[in-house]
Structure 1
């Protein structure tokens, strides 16, 4: 009886969970907060379309590539220690990003944020599992963790909207300071240190191969979206696929690899990882074009645009917590497919209405998608942990977080790339516009708005309005195509849930 009582978490552990939620919220907020700041960054720093995508994607790309590596370091030096090191670095680099004076400086800052973010994320779930030994308590703690992860993604635009309403765009990066200061103070007091007693070796070749597998593939997607399919795209894709093959082959030969690839032999595990990834693609991809549509086309302020997403954010939190009770009576794969079905309906409605969708429909679509993604994310994380042996839970956690970050990359790379390509092909520049202005207008919607303002200031009001109308039409047409692609992705995710997650062990 004494042992059972000791295994149940008390006030200290639940307060420790609250502390661990701070970096979870921050890192997930950082994945989407930039979406609402992007129009301001585009007008201020004037990055190209490709540079805009890289500024957004370099952070989750680097983070995803280093998650497994940093998880291994945490196993060796202590997860709480690595969490504190990563949090300190993240806060300092966030200040650097806030005061960037060029697109290149901001890109470098985002890269470093990805490095330090990779130190933070593997530690949170690993520390949480060590703090909650009772199965029921641990399940609730993981549900809260997963809900915070998803909710943070949706909260990002709202936080960004509030800040951008009153401050410079750099303020969206400074939110790291109030999030991480309490962590640095209270984590040593409330979070128990833990290490892996038998960590795998630090495998430098495997680390390099993991990065070489991910970066070229994402680059190929980006390059194809902006410049079309060419030898560069094909070559980058082949390099990524070859590196990935070598990475898997190397790990399969090791007794204690940094990532046990045999986990993917479990259908429920692999299916849940893929559902996790596609869900984040859907959420981040929708936010990528919805934030621009609300601000640049409908003319809402950042705060107004953020508030339009508030119902979806609330629904995401509620759905993520309620689904834990629902799955006591409904099979996990059925509940997961239902959530993905809601996301499918959201994308389908936008694909049908396109640019003619009224504001209320945009809000309703995001709310529907947010609820569906919250359900899918919460359940997929739970299945990922439950479908592997306890000894492999740490590796499973790293895979789950990696899928999330890769999904964030692909959300802007794939769906954002489709939108960019469609926008550029449909953009018609009127006569009287300089070649430089025409190139800027074709690059991004923000660039077109900027050029339109220049033309109007120069006494060319007619050309300015014509340019703006063409840009809005091209962007809305691109949003329709992107929504159709999103709907197809959701159909694929539903198939994965019904075929693979249905094999979840009892």
Structure 2
């Protein structure tokens, strides 16, 4: 007998049972591992480089292909979960994730490791929308659902922070491949308990999956993100621009095709709901600034202030803790205030944090860096949580996987764009300051080029140079990097202020009262199903 596919695991608006809360813990496990696998490899790079001897291009693919394939596969996997069943897809993905982890752990060539990391990315893309859409179906009480989504997001933050720490611990006793074996027992537990604790749900009616659309979405997103990554690393060039143009052209064809298909891979009609489209835009902006700044923050702590990697990780711990507090505290605020009010306040708090970081000399001050990062992290996480809550809850139950995939894809693209765009701004300021710098005459041409390209290159080239001009140039390089970081902080501050203004304008009429017929649509030009009011909205105050 097939598993039930109805979404109800508890009475509508009823409290979740112990089974649902234990099920939430089960769903948190793959999310934790997905985030860990984003960062756990960073510390292992020197070890696997010595073992596999990859070329520079191969090393780039080893590190990046995991994130590339997650972003490129989310849309397809989110829709696939709606059609074949979210629990079924979760279990298929868990099995593939575990098998690919074993393959990566025992890879003896660079090509094998690249292939295994690619499979891990595709499997990770099956897990993310499946877990989020299952939460949507398991928790019918609006406040509990908001808390469950906040807890879901928190696991990603914990996993990201825990990745380097666990990786360092494992590498102290085992070979580099052992970092991947951390995934195997967790996925085995998931496969055992998922059929017992998690409900099954899928769309009642659906057609066949358009394979051409699936391939086109994958290739288009991969091309865009690859181009952005190359642009951020090497600046403007034919490869980067060509990849981005090809990706955008593929995305244009994909959108046109979805509009013509009777049963599209991506339901573009979801974007006509303001409680889906507007939160996606705001979430993209928040991830845009957050991901980029954390990258620069790590560099500033190590290359400007001079902390060791472990010390830098400890200095970033307050930001991680405040992010967890912000995410878990958002549902409490939503029980007292409207979602638009909470989001606007959080965005203003985020802007204040970036404002601190834009003060002169902030890049060289451990106190300002740690304080500013903690404040903006405290603000960004409620924004991301509420946006995710709105998107998955406003979507029809048959389309929650697709909506979750849209939300996750926008976050991936926002992070990649932030690193590329803001990274290019910082790099341009640094290079402009360093282009006329007097450099020691005993450096090679390659060292001089590295010195004038990045602060990391300057530290490597001048770290062992004798005092004198080498010391002066290194000081100039650090000041140039700090100037770029200050400009980036100002841009982030302005963008968050604009996002707050946009939230006030568009979401100010969000209400929990279905009788008011509001879906953030004051003009009344959109037909709204009151049963699809977002959980964040339903948890807010009615006036």
TM-score bracket for the superposition, by shorter chain length:
0.7 to 0.9
Q: Which of 199-208 and 267-276 deviates more?
A: 199-208
Conservation of the 8 A alpha-carbon contact between 2:270 and 2:395? yes
Classify 1:412/1:72 alpha carbon distance in 2 versus 1 (closer, same or farther; 3 Å).
same
Q: Provide the aligned length of Structure 1 versus Structure 2.
A: 500
Aligned match of 1:308:
315
Output the CA distance in 2 between the equivalents of 1:87 and 1:157: 22
Alignment of 1:199 with 2:209, yes or no, is no
**1:363 deviation in Å?**
0.9
Aligned match of 1:436:
446
Classify 1:221/1:110 alpha carbon distance in 2 versus 1 (closer, same or farther; 3 Å).
same
Output the CA distance in 1 between the equivalents of 2:164 and 2:441: 37
Q: Which of 208-217 and 399-408 deviates more?
A: 208-217
Conservation of the 8 A alpha-carbon contact between 2:101 and 2:120? yes
Output the CA distance in 2 between the equivalents of 1:365 and 1:171: 36
Following superposition of structure 1 onto structure 2, how do residues 36-47 of structure 1 map, counting pairs within 5 Å? none
Conservation of the 8 A alpha-carbon contact between 2:87 and 2:134? yes
**1:82 deviation in Å?**
2.8
Alignment of 1:277 with 2:287, yes or no, is no
Summarize deviations over 1:63-95 as a string: whole Å, max 9, x none: 122112122333444433332332343345456
Unpaired segments ≥5 residues, structure 2? 1-8, 511-518, 520-532, 534-543
Aligned match of 1:387:
394
Aligned match of 1:499:
505
Aligned match of 2:540:
none
Q: As a proportion of its length, which structure holds more helix? A: 1
Unpaired segments ≥5 residues, structure 1? none
Question: Which structure's CA Rg is the greater one?
Answer: 2
Output the CA distance in 2 between the equivalents of 1:41 and 1:477: 35
Conservation of the 8 A alpha-carbon contact between 1:441 and 1:451? yes
Q: Which of 111-120 and 463-472 deviates more?
A: 463-472
Summarize deviations over 1:443-468 as a string: whole Å, max 9, x none: 54444433345x55xxx565764554
Classify 1:234/1:407 alpha carbon distance in 2 versus 1 (closer, same or farther; 3 Å).
closer
Higher relative contact order (CA 8 A, sep 6+): 1
State the SS of the aligned residue for 1:285.
helix
Aligned match of 1:450:
460
Following superposition of structure 1 onto structure 2, how do residues 332-343 of structure 1 map, counting pairs within 5 Å? 332-343=339-350
Output the CA distance in 2 between the equivalents of 1:169 and 1:424: 36
**1:426 deviation in Å?**
3.6
Conservation of the 8 A alpha-carbon contact between 1:216 and 1:237? yes
Instruction: Choose the corresponding residue for 2:485, options 465, 473, 479.
Output: 479
TM-score by length of 1: 0.84
Conservation of the 8 A alpha-carbon contact between 1:57 and 1:409? no
Following superposition of structure 1 onto structure 2, how do residues 226-241 of structure 1 map, counting pairs within 5 Å? 226-229=233-236, 232-241=239-248
Conservation of the 8 A alpha-carbon contact between 2:287 and 2:411? yes
Over aligned residue pairs, what C-alpha RMSD do you find?
Answer: 3.8
Following superposition of structure 1 onto structure 2, how do residues 15-34 of structure 1 map, counting pairs within 5 Å? 15-31=22-38
TM-score by length of 2: 0.79
Output the CA distance in 1 between the equivalents of 2:175 and 2:478: 26
Conservation of the 8 A alpha-carbon contact between 1:150 and 1:374? no
Summarize deviations over 1:206-245 as a string: whole Å, max 9, x none: 1232234323333444444455445555544432332222
